[in-house]
Amino acid sequence: MQPISWVQGIAIYKAYVLLALTTLFWGGNSIAGKWAVGHASPMILVSVRWLTLLVLLFVFGRRHIATDWPAIRSRMGYLLLQGTLGFTVFSVALYYALVYTSAINASILQGSTPLFVFGASFLLFSSRVRWAQALGFAVSFVGVMVIAVRGEFANLLALDINFGDALMFVAVLAYGIYTAALRSKPQIHWVSLMFVLCLGATLSALPMLAIEAAQGKMLLPDSRGWIAIAYIVIFPSLLSQVFYIRSVELIGANRASLFINLLPVWGALLAILVLGEAFQVYHFLGLVMILLGIAFAEYRGKSKQAPS
């Protein structure tokens, strides 16, 4: 193995900093959503988030969008569906979940997303399953259930699962299918891809916003709601995407993806520090099992592969 040059060392350090910020901002998404409860309705958060990002991407990236438009048009249905599933369904389930459950629960359960990516890849593309991956999936899933039943498995037999935690299952399932299905995305610039995904998210969110308004449940943002929306748009929606893409360019997708496991850690810490939520023993046990299961599946799975 050749020694790493100082230039490579700086690039790696820069990538690590960017990835730490990326997962910190993503972890803060649940905190902002919980903080906005009672100050802006969930569909307001979802609609304003993706519409604002759609406009920003068009204003600053229209040259890339114009160049990639033929490829976008030929796959428009697929891309709009992906935006609906990965952006709208995930966001709606997340922000409604935060009305009923804690930000700590939402953050830790969100950390189980790699499990659902693994499962969706197997179902959609018949990806090969190794025994280590199956075992890691099982361990992590038990960790998820520990959180969902609040450390009391008698609650599972009684079907006493918090409605917000059940919605988080919907959220991570939707994002897992979306992520696995990205394998079939067209080869276009990331700005163009984000634009059309945001277009799908906006088009699917607006009817839901109309339903929320018709039911009399729409709550326009007050000052606190607008602060939460500003954070959601700027940090987890925009800067995190830019930072993550740059990190992948610096150190590669495989190494960068491991940092996603920091998301539930950041989310739990922020929930304690910002929202004052209590960290219970079952949170710790569930978090450890989720991270251990994912780490075992990833590292053991990769160790069985021939070096590239």
Over residues 270-285, the pLDDT tens digits come to: 888 898 888 888 778 8
For 281-303, what is the mean pLDDT? 71
Q: Say which residue, 78 or 245, is predicted with more confidence.
A: 78
Are the C-beta atoms of residues 172 and 94 closer than 8 Å to each other? Answer: no
Cα-based torsion angle of the residue sequence 242, 174, 264, 260 in order, rounded to the nearest 10 degrees: -40
Q: Is the pLDDT of residue 254 over 80?
A: no
Burial class (CB in 10 A: 0-12, 13-18, 19+), 307: exposed
Computed over its alpha carbons, how large is the radius of gyration of the chain? 20
**Does residue 62 register a pLDDT over 90?**
yes
- Considering the chain, what percentage of its residues have pLDDT values greater than 90? 42
pLDDT classification of 307: cutoffs 50, 70, 90:
very low
pLDDT value, residue 7: 64
Mean pLDDT to the nearest integer, 101-126: 78
Per-domain residue ranges of the chain: 1-40+221-275
Sequence-distant (6+) residues with CB within 8 A of 251 are 11, 12, 15
Q: What's the pLDDT band for 50 if we cut at 50, 70, 90? A: very high
Q: Which residues of 236-259 are buried (b: 16+ CB within 10 A; e: fewer)?
A: bbbebbebbeebbebbeeeebbeb
| pLDDT at residue 39, rounded to an integer | 96
The answer to whether residue 70 scores a pLDDT higher than 70 is: yes
What is the mean predicted confidence (pLDDT) over 51-72? 95
- Here the tokens at position 112 are 């189980």
Distance, in Å, from the CA atom of 189 to the CA atom of 241, rounded to the nearest integer, reads 13
Q: What is the pTM of this model?
A: 0.82
pLDDT of residue 245: 77
pLDDT of residue 218: 95
